[in-house]
A and B are shown apart, each in its own frame.
Chain A
Amino acid sequence: MNRSAAAPSGVAAAYRARAARRLAGLGFAALGLAVAALLDMATGPAFLSPSAVARSVLRLAEDRTIDAIVWSIRLPIAAIAILVGATLGLTGAIMQTILANPLASSYTLGVSAGAGFGAALVIVMGAALPLPELYAVPIAAFVFAGLACAGVYGVGALRGATPEMLALAGIAMLFLFQALLSLLQFMASPEALQQIVFWLFGSLQRATWTKAGLILATLAVAAPFLARDCWRLTALKLGDERAASLGVDPRRLRLRALALVALLTGVAVAFVGAIGFVGLVAPHVARMFLGEDQRYLLVGSALVGALTLSLASVASKSISPGALFPIGIVTAMIGVPFFIWLILRSRRSFW
């Protein structure tokens, strides 16, 4: 087919140009993320100059004090902020796609609540468990995130696993686990209660390299599955019937995707506590700039999520010097006005 004769408008060329613009956008977000991470590492009880931090991270200069602070404290925190933010943004995008619902995210549909309940259960049971709490909390959070996802799919599948039924089942899970969590808080000792509340605020301070490695490994496990399914996920945006006619099995795709969401959310929430908002909003921001092609949207949502949490980490350390604001609160306090502004200024319909 002679391209110039078939379409003088250069449809294919315009598509390639759009793809290039989107890649540039992703690159720009990655650059912003690098800057935010640098700022994140520079802020703290002792303010370090960003250039000194950069030199230390890149091993360009030897300064024992700076190296000690950066490598043993700030770099793990910055890495966890990036990885957890990316995970939350990614899971939010996946859930919004498979549930065809702009309000979907691990937080709004009970998966995070499940993880929170699991963590609280361990905190309340405390010494009665055979495992030390350090390991038991994340394991329980992970297991209950999985249970919540199983609940979403199990209840939703009773009526055909349609997006509406799954979203309703998710809301039901949210209320169920919140009620169970309240029950635990009601019964807990004052010490345990304080610990639960702190955990629920979300915190990056317990970051270690091991945790960062585990989250990275989880993302690495999920990536090939998502890369394989990204066209199917894009097709699902056209509706189940059209997707099915293009060769997608919507039910199995939803099941696969939800399994990944359980894994990713469980690991992320287990290590830093419940951080809402990022998973809900990062995909919307990414969608405004990148559209609905999931090859870009999933990567973009992860980058925006990482950027958001990095900036929130900076803010949590800067609001009152010396004190540390819980990052879950900061994220929402700063993020919500920004998000509303973004919705209002966007002329295109983005959902």
Chain B
Amino acid sequence: MRLAFEKVGVGYDGRRVVAGVDLTIDDGEVVALIGPNGSGKSSLVRAAAGLLAHDGAIRFGAGPRAAARIGYMPQDEGRRPALTALEVVLLGRMRGLGFRVADADLDAAEAMMAELAIAGFAERLVGELSGGQRQLVYLAQALVAEPDALLLDEPTSALDMRHQLDVLASVRRLTRSRGLACLLVLHDLNAAARFSDRIAVLHEGRLACCAPPEEALTAARIAEVFGVEAAIGRAPDGRPTVTPLAAIG
């Protein structure tokens, strides 16, 4: 379902952290949100998830946010409760869970875990899983309620290459197959270039651009936004690669 930000601003504690963001994400499209620390990425995503007050409008499909189902995956808070992977995924359907878990909920959780190839450790405690496996479990939790839009805040921070690939490839595949609008906060510009359809660059709370990776990731823009001199290359699939060279100033 289409996700549209119209003149969205976010502020808290008397501080304006996001201002005037216009951004539309289409069905089946992955948009990566990048920007330096403190540029307002998480605030924008949290506003879309309904966890932070905002002005302007955030629309899902034709209607307001309240009518849409949103799969939101926050940054890892580091909690390791004694819950199994399956129990964590089931909580994704919490709004409909009865005191006795219905077969339909179990089936949905099982199918989702099978789709992400994590059914094998459904009975393991989340605290005993590797970081990448745990992220996939939380991704399954965000997806199991059959959301219309997917908001992921740094889903691959602290993951090694292999697990980054696993998580981001799954995100892109499911975004396409389910026609979701997917907004993905990433720090790794190469991952953003590789897995997104467009890259939205947030600079000091304002949207500097939102364009396909080869347009968004130019040496000039990276210098302006990140203050880093970078060499832009080409991956075999034609997408840009970013190699940071030196800090500017």
Contacts and interface: CB of A to CB of B under 8 A. Distances in A.
A349 B124 CA distance: 12
Contacts of A239: 74, 77-79
Interface in B85-129: 86-88, 91-92, 94-95, 97, 99, 101, 103, 106-111, 113-114, 119-120, 122-123, 125, 127-128
A293 B91 CA distance: 10
B125 A12 contact: no
B3 to A, nearest CB: 16
Interface in A238-263: 238-242, 244-248
A295 B123 contact: no
A14 interface: yes
A349 B79 contact: no
B99 A295 contact: yes
B122 A11 contact: yes
B110 A3 contact: yes
Nearest to B75: A241
B81 interface: yes
Contacts of A247: 94-95
Interface string B48-86: 010100000000000000000010111101111111101
B99 A15 contact: no
Contacts of A246: 91-92, 94-95
B51 A245 contact: yes
B137 to A, nearest CB: 11
Sort chain B's interface into a size bin. 35 or more
A348 B79 contact: no
Sort chain A's interface into a size bin. 35 or more
A206 interface: no
A40 interface: no
B81 A245 contact: no
Given A6-B110, A245-B74, A227 B99 contact: yes
Contacts of B84: 18, 291
A292 B127 CA distance: 12
Nearest to A12: B106
Given A12-B110, A100-B79, A293 B87 contact: yes
A15 B101 contact: yes
A153 to B, nearest CB: 22
A238 B138 CA distance: 10
Nearest to B81: A237
Given A12-B107, A15-B101, A239-B77, A7 B119 contact: yes
A18 B101 CA distance: 13
A3 B107 CA distance: 7
Given A15-B101, A246-B91, A291-B84, A237 B110 contact: no
B113 to A, nearest CB: 6
B78 to A, nearest CB: 8
Nearest to B83: A292
A244 B185 CA distance: 19
A74 interface: no
Nearest to A1: B111
Interface in B113-153: 113-114, 119-120, 122-123, 125, 127-128, 138, 142
Contacts of B114: 6-7, 11
Given A12-B110, A15-B106, A238 B123 contact: no
Given A241-B51, A246-B94, A9 B88 contact: no
B111 A14 contact: no
Interface in A274-289: 287
Given A6-B107, A230-B99, A241-B77, 20 more contacts: A7-B110, A9-B119, A11-B119, A12-B103, A14-B86, A15-B106, A231-B97, A235-B91, A237-B81, A244-B51, A245-B142, A246-B91, A246-B94, A291-B82, A292-B82, A293-B83, A348-B125, A349-B125, A349-B127, A349-B128
22 contacts: A1-B111, A3-B110, A6-B114, A7-B110, A11-B114, A11-B122, A12-B107, A15-B123, A16-B106, A19-B101, A234-B91, A237-B83, A238-B77, A238-B91, A239-B77, A245-B73, A245-B142, A246-B95, A247-B94, A291-B82, A291-B125, A349-B82
Pairs of residues from A and B, 10 with the lowest C-beta to C-beta distance, nearest first: A239-B77, A237-B81, A245-B72, A241-B74, A11-B110, A12-B106, A7-B114, A292-B82, A11-B122, A7-B119
Interface of A: 1, 3, 6-7, 9, 11-12, 14-16, 18-19, 100, 227, 230-232, 234-235, 237-242, 244-248, 287, 291-293, 295, 348-351
